[in-house]
Amino acid sequence: MGEVSYEIAIIGGGPGGYSAALRAAELGLKTVVIEKDKIGGICLHHGCIPTTSLLQCAKVLETVNRSDKFGIKVEGISYDWQAIQKAKSVSVNRLFMGLNTLFKQRKVEVIKGTAAFDEPGSVRVENNTGSHTLLTDNIIIATGSSPRAIPEFQGNPNMAMDTNQVLEINKVPKSITIVGGGAYGVEFATLFKTFGSEVSIIERAAHLLPRDDHEVAKYLERSFAKRGISIYTNTKIQAAVQTNAGAQIEIENQSTGEVKTITSDKVLVTAGRIANLDNIDIETLGLRTKYGFIDTDSDMRTNIKGVFAAGDVTFNPQYANFAFSEGIHAVEIIAGMDPPTLNLKQIPIYTFGSPELAKVGYTEDEAKQAGFEIETVGLPLQAVPRSAIDKESIGFAKIVSIKGGPIIGVHLIGPDVVNLISEAMLITNWEATAEDVAQFLHPHPSFAESIGETVLKLAGKPLHSL
């Protein structure tokens, strides 16, 4: 293989990379994707898809376990963890096949191998056929991220699992300690609690989901506590020791100084991720980074001409929908188009599990820090008639609005709220006011009314609430 020229070379075939490649194909740009493993990346093979598949199995089990509330008796409830793992694999393989079909139909070229570069304009690819140089007008770095290790467990890698390894666990542990109370930690706490594990979560910040609205996060903590999940916030790890039974973790509350030891069969570390930049010569390139991630402008340009970045490798929220938006936007900029400004603040963020959480826009604290004069309103989902029908006792909606102006933040916790947040995304992006939205009433009875009822309350004309 001699030197071949491309208009775009994309390093990495995860959500940021494959969305860029598919959009480039639509625009007729000569594009190549270099991927060392499988198209789909961490999200498809070791992240959101398999995790959500397992959580869906947990949701089915939860539904069966509470069937008596609907007058339905189910005896001898049990689960088969190996069958659950198989269901997960079936989901992943089906989507992988579909993605490969898309690539073939759009004639996207993929080279399997490891890519590296130290100057714009060319990429070196190493694979089983040797070393090759690709010439390119533009490079999109979409190499993703990997689980972050923490010092307390680095001396003994068998003591703790990361978020990739836990997906392949061969049985549900009797007890598990989760280090990190972000989205991953919350999702896996839901998963293992539903399947019968004794679950503890350790989080250094003042509350779980530290980037979420504090009121919603506290609601989640109360919900978890009712389920018997032990929560240790504002807490740091002092030491960790492997035992015959699993692991002992010594923790200290950062406010009170209280020290406690937690013993569990398994430990899962979900304390953040690091950018995959091993083969990118940052120093030679002079590539600007921020806290170890590539720093880009709003058009996904780096400080190096002709070099863009998208997805988890950037200093942006690490969600697949962000990566999709970034990859598509970068390609449209390269193509000379004039796409709308990519406002990452107005893309939804979500946490699957039980309950689900979803948000878009500003939290109350962020809005105040930004200097907005705001008003907020909250609504328990018990005010929504569907809650009574579905026998749901958990749920809360909160709206943040500029006083007398548009809605700039929507925060939801409860059943299936991830499926509701798209409406909130339109509300905040179109700068709608409470009065604008209040005239459009939602299907009744439905959980979609949680947004409608909260907006009605903000507009001063509540219907099913005070």
Site of tokens 């997960």 = 88
Q: How far apart are CA 293 and CA 172, in angstroms?
A: 34
Partnered with residue 399 across adjacent β-strands are: 377, 410
Q: How far apart are CA 103 and CA 35, in angstroms?
A: 13
Residues recorded for the chain: 466
What is the DSSP annotation of 387-452? HHHTT----EEEEEEETTSBEEEEEEEETTGGGTHHHHHHHHHTT-BHHHHHTSPPPSSSTTHHHH
Instruction: Indicate which residue of 214, 442, 444, 464 is catalytic.
Output: 444
Residue 277, classified by CB atoms within 10 Å of its CB into exposed (0-12), middle (13-18) or buried (19+), is middle
Nearest by Cα to 284 from 304, 302, 299 = 304
**Catalytic site includes residue 444:** yes
Residue 460, classified by CB atoms within 10 Å of its CB into exposed (0-12), middle (13-18) or buried (19+), is exposed
Nearest by Cα to 377 from 457, 464, 462 = 457
DSSP structure class, residue 298: T
Pull the structure tokens for residue 460: 């001063």
Half-sphere exposure of 449 (CA within 13 A, CB side): 17
* Whole-angstrom Cα Rg for the chain: 24
Over the range 247-268, which residues count as b (16 or more CB within 10 Å of their CB) and which as e? Answer: bbbebbeeeeeeeeebebbbbb
Partnered with residue 461 across adjacent β-strands are: none
Site of tokens 């839901």 = 190
Catalytic residue numbers? 444
